[in-house]
Structure 1
Amino acid sequence: MGLVDSRYHRPMKLGTVKSIGWQLGLGFTLLAGICAMAVALYNFHARQYMGSDYTSLVAVVVRSQSHAVMFRNALEDLRKRPGDPDVFSRLENFLWRIPQHIDGISFSLQANQLSKSDYHASLARLQDVKERMSEMRQQLDGIILGASPEKFLHQGQVIENDLALTYSMLEELVHSEAAKQRIVMERLGRTISVLIFMILLLIVGLLISLFKLKRKHHKVMQLSQFDELTKLGNRRYLLSFAESFCKQSQRSGCSLGLILMDIDHFKYVNDTFGHPAGDQILRVFAGALKDEVREIDVLARIGGEEFCVLMPDTDVDGAVKLAERLRQKVSDLTQQQLGVATSVTMSLGVATGHEAIFKHLYARADKALYQAKTNGRNRVEIG
């Protein structure tokens, strides 16, 4: 028989594995899509808020309001004590400090991601106040030299009212934007929580799919290298060891042995007792062989009723002895053991040596098997 017989090769059924592969690809694509949507949502809704420090801006506005109140108190003191040097000093300080606060508020408003249309009018009013305070500094110099403070007091009162109104509007604007920021962040938090939950579900699904894929892969490997009926390795399984055993034999100088076995008149058994009976005999036959071979030997079913044993570190005497034990073991099987009202014998071909190519060793064993059949069956021949 030839080394390769396609009739006994079981094709690998990869449809299920491919299906799981598509599921994994879809899962990863879904995960990437969800992450991309989350990033887009974040950029769209939160960019203008994440760059804003509304707490700091509120502090600037509140501090400026307090100075506006103190400026009003200083104006009242000037009305009561027009020539008090301490009042002049306080007013000079406020006329210098309040414009500094206006510059600070202007910078903070522009540094935060607020819409310019929301604070443009307030900022313009503050800039106008800043210019008028520059004029008041000149007026204060005249009052110190003895001029009347009435015009100064009137203009100061107008400025203080403008500051109070503007700061109040800015405080309301900042609090409103801060509230919006909190709402957006809460929504983002919920979105991220849902996203994390979905990612966890997806990861669990992927892990389950990977586990199933591993099981399917193992099953495919089993189907591709093992015979389902006898549970022995098949021709593919044999060939996976053959070349490495040949190389090992070449390196070590130890002989490699091969026994080919064929059940005699097996077609007659199938035709007479039916294929279920033939399958039963094959199972019992395989069990009998497994009881006799070593753990390091490779036992395989390589055809319908053809089996083989590949034996590392085995010379011709050892191979022949094992072949005879196997032949005797099979011929001694009773009808009760076989489960069929018949007896079974087999023919065996033995070949040993240091072949560098497995098919050469196989060809010699196959030739010996043919000789055993020609010479009457139920015998061992050496090739």
Structure 2
Amino acid sequence: MARPLSAMLIALLVALSALFAVLLAWYLTQARQYIGADYTGLILDVVRANEETYRLRRLLYAEAREEAFPLGERLVNTATMLQQRLSLYLQTLDRMPLDSLRDAAFAGEIQEALGHHERMTQLIDTSDTALSPAALEAAKTLEQQLAWIFSEMNDRLQSASAVQQRINEGLALAVVVLVGLVLATALGLLAALLHLQHQSETLRGLAITDSLTQLSNRHQWLEQAPLLLEPANMPVALVLLDLDHFKSINDGYGHPTGDQVLEAFGRLLKSVARRSDLVARLGGEEFALLMPHTAGVDAARVGERIRRHTQDFTLPAPAEHHSLTVSIGIAVADTAAVDADRDANDDSEERFSTLYRSADKALYRAKEGGRNRIELA
């Protein structure tokens, strides 16, 4: 159940990431007119233009006149600077992606102001210190138009800048969410891979391990044992063990009690085995212990230790008064078993088969000889 749930979770995360990426792309398409424009710079330019418009107003309504600097020339110079700014703004707004700044009516107002500037410059003599009524009216009309245009432009740019800021904040949040979803998907995939690896290792362990005793099973033992016989010029001892009259425990006290006995015997074999040894349950009450770099006398010493511990073993209830013994057959494949004219790396499979048959015959003799004993091949 855990595997389908994890797969569904990963699929959901992937789907959410894809959906969010599509929504983000749509959002960027809709918001692209607000992104990339330098509204702050335009606002500063408009502020400067407002200051120049104020200068124009002062020139028109000031009571004092400076004779050394004719009024007409100052008006024309100031208005010309504003006209140049308007022309530049028109070019800039044409490149702006924002529709509200490229409004046709607003552009028309700017064009009209440029026309008023043209008429004003035609009516004003730059050498005059006073303006004719027509020139003064044209200058006032231009000043009012410019004041309105720059005020309106400032409002529009401020609004566009605020929208741009909100969009940038939204994009930052969207990127964080998308990165979070991608990371969550990656972590989900990693967790799924780890889960699959754990399941694979668990299944492999079940395939090569006896579930009751946690020793190697017969298949794993027969696969690994020949490898421990390489190279052929080292002694290897094989100890086969069979619990005596084990069927009477199963029949008399039940299989659960028998299973507990087998588990306990498996723990005993683990306690005497070295890290280099290969211990296994071959089936039923038969066990095996393969010991590399071990001579016959050393293997017999280990076998005797196992036999004594088994004999003294207290069985679990209700079989605590029942005695348990083990019969042991030992065979050794050593350098004497390899002919001088044969390669030292002789076929390990053949050597193992020979070793196994010898140990099995020794076990049979131990059984025939009265059980609870050790026989060497």
In the alignment, is the contact (CA less than 8 A) between 1:300 and 1:309 conserved in 2? Answer: yes
Structure-2 residue corresponding to 1:5: none
8 A contact 1:65–1:167 mirrored in 2: yes
TM score, norm. by length of structure 2: 0.76
Paired residues of 2:241 and 2:288 also in contact (CA < 8 A): yes
When the two chains are superposed, the root-mean-square deviation of aligned CA atoms in Å is 4.0
- For 1:245 and 1:228, the matched residues in 2 are separated by 24
Q: 2:24 pairs with 32, 35, 39, which one?
A: 39
For 1:315, the equivalent position in structure 2 comes to 295
Match of 1:255 in 2: 235
Query: 1:43, CA displacement in angstroms?
Result: 1.1
Q: Which residue of 2 aligns with 1:343?
A: 324
Say which structure is richer in helix: 1
Answer with 363-372 or 301-310: which moved more: 363-372
Equivalent residue for 2:7, pick from 4, 17, 22: 22
Give the direction of change, closer, same or farther, for the CA distance of 1:319–1:373 in structure 2 (3 Å limit).
Answer: closer
1:59 Cα deviation after fit: 2.0
Q: Secondary structure at the match of 1:302?
A: strand
CA distance in 2, matches of 1:148, 1:37: 64
The one-character-per-residue Cα deviations of 1:16-66 (angstroms, maximum 9, x if unpaired) are 5x4365256325514633651463354144322222332222222222222
Match of 1:178 among 143, 161, 166: 161
Which residue identity does 2:154 align to in structure 1?
E
Contact map agreement 1:60 1:105 (CA 8 A) in 2: no
**Rounded Cα–Cα distance in structure 1 between residues aligned with 2:283 and 2:352:** 14
Aligned CA distance change for structure 1 residues 350 and 32 (closer, same or farther; 3 Å)? farther
C-alpha displacement of 1:312: 2.2
1:301 partnered with 2:281: yes
**TM-score with structure 1 setting the length:** 0.75
Contact 2:119/2:138, CA 8 A, preserved across alignment: no
Q: 2:257 aligns with which of 277, 280, 284?
A: 277
Quote the residue 1:48 is aligned against: 33
- State the distance in 1 between where 2:205 and 2:321 align: 29
Given candidates 325, 329, 333, the residue that maps to 1:352 is 333
1:151 aligns with 2:134: yes
Aligned residues: 363
Aligned to 1:93: 77
| Conserved? CA contact 1:333–1:343, under 8 Å | yes
Report if the CA contact (8 A) 1:82-1:149 is conserved: no
In the alignment, which of 44, 49, 52 is matched to residue 64 of structure 1?
Answer: 49
Contact 1:349 1:372 in 2 (8 A): yes
1:129 aligns with 2:113: yes
Judging changes above 3 Å, is the alpha-carbon distance between structure 1 residues 150 and 176 closer, same or farther for their aligned structure 2 residues?
same
Confirm or deny: 8 A CA contact 2:307 2:325 kept in the other structure: no
| Corresponding residue number in structure 2 for 1:6 | none
CA–CA separation in structure 1 for the residues paired with 2:253 and 2:354:
33
For 1:148 and 1:55, how far apart are their aligned partners in 2?
A: 38
- Distance in 2 between the 1:27 and 1:257 partners? 57
Cα distance in 1 between the residues matched to 2:64 and 2:268:
124
Q: Counterpart of 2:357?
A: 367
Structure 2 vs 1, CA of residues 301 and 200 (structure 1 numbering), >3 Å: closer, same or farther?
same
> How far did residue 204 of structure 1 move?
7.8
Alpha-carbon distance change, 280 to 34 in structure 1, aligned in 2, over 3 angstroms = same
Change (3 A) 1:57 1:92: same
How far apart are 1:335 and its partner, in Å?
A: 5.9
CA contact (8 A) 1:365 1:382 kept: no
Letter in 2 for 1:110: D
Residues in 1 aligned to 2:42 and 2:94: alpha-carbon distance in whole angstroms: 11
1:238-297 Cα offsets, whole Å, 9 max, x none, are: 4675465344x35xx433333232334433443344312321321232233334333432
Kept in 2: contact 1:229–1:279 (CA 8 A): yes
Q: Do the aligned partners of residues 204 and 376 (structure 1) sit closer, same or farther apart at CA in structure 2, a change above 3 Å counting?
A: closer
Cα shift readout 1:112-138 (whole Å, capped 9, x = no counterpart): 431067532222332343344345445
- 1:292 has 2:268 as partner: no
- Sort the Cα spacing of 1:162 and 1:256 in 2 relative to 1 into closer, same or farther, 3 A: same
CA distance in 2, matches of 1:335, 1:172: 95
Long gaps (5+) in structure 2: 335-343
